[in-house]
Chains A and B, each alone.
Chain A
């Protein structure tokens, strides 16, 4: 359990960064804002509480590795990296603009703090299994964290990687599935049924946990559980709400990707400030 002060720190940080995501979305004309908000507490918990990192040394060999397999959540990732000081957050005013280092899917060679370039779905878990196996071979004690979308669990390659992680007993890896139940075309369960997700991962040799993906206590407890696990990789199925924090975006497929005008931006910021 988090003490109340720490919980408040994380919640305040999450609110502050949600507002920045809104500002950047407004400035750049459009972004994957729905998914950025559903993954948000997971990323905030990892970056402000869990990851062994040093923003002054983005290439530090012994840092933990983070892979945003759902690369379209890049706007949320970039806002966090800027806030931590990997780069001047003012640079984000050029997000998505011609020649900017910040495209909607982040490039590891252009954005300090990004360990893997993602955007094409179904790559992140395999990359993560490789990073974790690499650390094992090289005798390194860093951990690898991967955040997947639920939609990309329809990719065969996600399951190739899941099978390998189970087979090689990759325990220095923690995977999250941002289970917001909506992908671009609609509800995941109507497009391509994913459930029972926990049973699927368990059948592939994983230990599966199911949590509320917006609850910091549950996220951090799941991380601790995964670190203590010595036999199986751990996947955390995090039930989330697409567009979380902005009432008019929540659970709305239309907010998979969208732009904001001045009025929508103000409404979004007010909603975020009202949220608990």
Chain B
């Protein structure tokens, strides 16, 4: 995998396009074929890369200015004409500034508007808390009828964008700033909304990760393997609907689970997984990695992920702790699960 070098990951001189660029490109290709697709932004066409759509299809592109709530309302209205609007802005504005519009105009009214929220988590590290977004998964999961996806890299983002167009109702796709290294080598892999991707099989412990943290989970698993620890890694790109079967299977097989997300530990992936575990009634050693009810400090993204324990080092530490944790296992575990 690509390594952090200097100030940021060296993606700009890599062979791979960034997460944001590739979705801009893929969306444009979709738009050229599918005349229902319209694209909107709120003065972030360049930053979110949805501007690529404008270059090719200006008649179906709308920049509403810095007015995120209005962007959502306009997109909702456009669906009356049979259109499928794709809107893009920073996660913090899509999920919080425009929250009530997303909930009332999209979810309540079942409008097929697709939101591509960039700069999520602390990916815009130096911009500080106003531009970080560690709450969106919790907010969006709580809206009835919303589908929530956090792709791990550019290729997964491309697959998610393609898949969301004909997926019923509103969809929230959460990506980073766009400088994250790739997890996959191409777009050629099995991707299905609501279906976790198993990346490493393991019997000792399972790490369930989403978004950029998936890459770190894989690295942590590979490092753990060198010490004889068998770590299962699940890429849980869809938070809602959650692949509950994959969680239950991990519980059955490994009985130790860690969740990792570039998000608050309140209401995101960790809570979604904990909910599934709790409903099984089974004992389990469990740890949620994320921001522990705190706003992040300012800094370079990779520094922040490291300092808050969300990179491979932090995950490896957590693996060591959770492997030592005790829990109550019952005898007829396999029969009941």
Q: Are A137 and B81 in contact (CB under 8 A)?
A: yes
B:204-230 near A, CB below 8 Å = none
A65 at the A/B interface (Cβ < 8 Å)?
yes
Per-residue interface assignment for chain B, residues 47 to 91, with 1 indicating a CB less than 8 Å from any chain A CB and 0 otherwise:
000000000000110101101011011111111111100000000
Q: With an 8 A cutoff between CB atoms, is A129 at the interface?
A: yes
Given contacts A129-B77, A130-B78, A131-B77, contact A164 B83 (CB under 8 A): no
How distant is the Cα of A120 from the Cα of B108 in the complex, in angstroms? 12
- Quick check: B62 and A168 within 8 Å, CB to CB? yes
Q: Is the CB of A133 within 8 A of B78?
A: yes
Q: Could you tell me which residues of chain B, from 70 to 116, have a CB within 8 Å of some CB in chain A?
A: 70, 72-83, 100-101, 104-105, 108-110
User: Nearest CB to that of A138 among chain B residues?
Assistant: B81
Report how far A123 CA is from B101 CA in the complex, Å: 8
Residues in A with CB closer than 8 Å to B79 are 130, 134
Q: How far is the CA of A133 from the CA of B77 in the complex (A)?
A: 8
Q: Check if A220 is an interface residue, CB within 8 A of chain B.
A: no
Q: Determine how close the nearest CB of chain A comes to the CB of B241; give it in whole angstroms.
A: 20
- Other-chain residue from A135, A138, A144, A157 in contact with B73 (beta carbon distance below 8 A): A157
Given contacts A108-B109, A138-B83, contact A164 B65 (CB under 8 A): yes
Which residues in window 146-170 of A have CB below 8 A to B?
A: 157, 160-161, 163-164, 167-168
A201 to B292, CA, bound (A): 47
- Do B81 and A140 touch (CB < 8 A)? yes
CB of A198 to closest CB in B, whole Å: 22
> What residues on B are CB-neighbors of A132 within 8 Å?
77
Residues in B whose Cβ lies below 8 Å from that of A87: none
**In the complex, what distance in Å separates the CA atom of A115 from the CA atom of B104?**
14
Is A254 in contact with chain B by the CB < 8 A criterion? Answer: no
Whether B289 is near chain A, meaning CB under 8 Å from some CB there, is no
Q: B246-266 interface mask toward A, CB cutoff 8 Å, 1 = contact, 0 = none? A: 000000000000000000000
Query: Could you tell me if A134 and B77 are in contact, using CB atoms closer than 8 angstroms?
Result: yes
User: Are the CB atoms of B62 and A123 closer together than 8 Å?
Assistant: no
* Given A120-B104, A164-B65, residue A127 in contact with residue B82 (CB < 8 A): no
Asked whether B74 lies within 8 Å of A129 as measured between CB atoms, the reply is yes
User: Which chain A residues (40-61) contact chain B, with CB distance < 8 Å?
Assistant: 61
Chain B positions within 8 Å of A107 at CB level: 108
For the complex formed, measure the closest distance between the CB of A265 and the CB atoms of chain B, giving whole angstroms: 33
Given A65-B80, A130-B77, 10 more A-B residue pairs with CB atoms under 8 Å apart are A107-B108, A126-B77, A127-B77, A129-B77, A131-B80, A131-B81, A133-B77, A134-B78, A160-B70, A164-B74
List residues of A whose CB falls within 8 A of some B CB: 61, 65, 107-109, 115-117, 119-120, 123, 125-135, 137-138, 140, 144, 157, 160-161, 163-164, 167-168
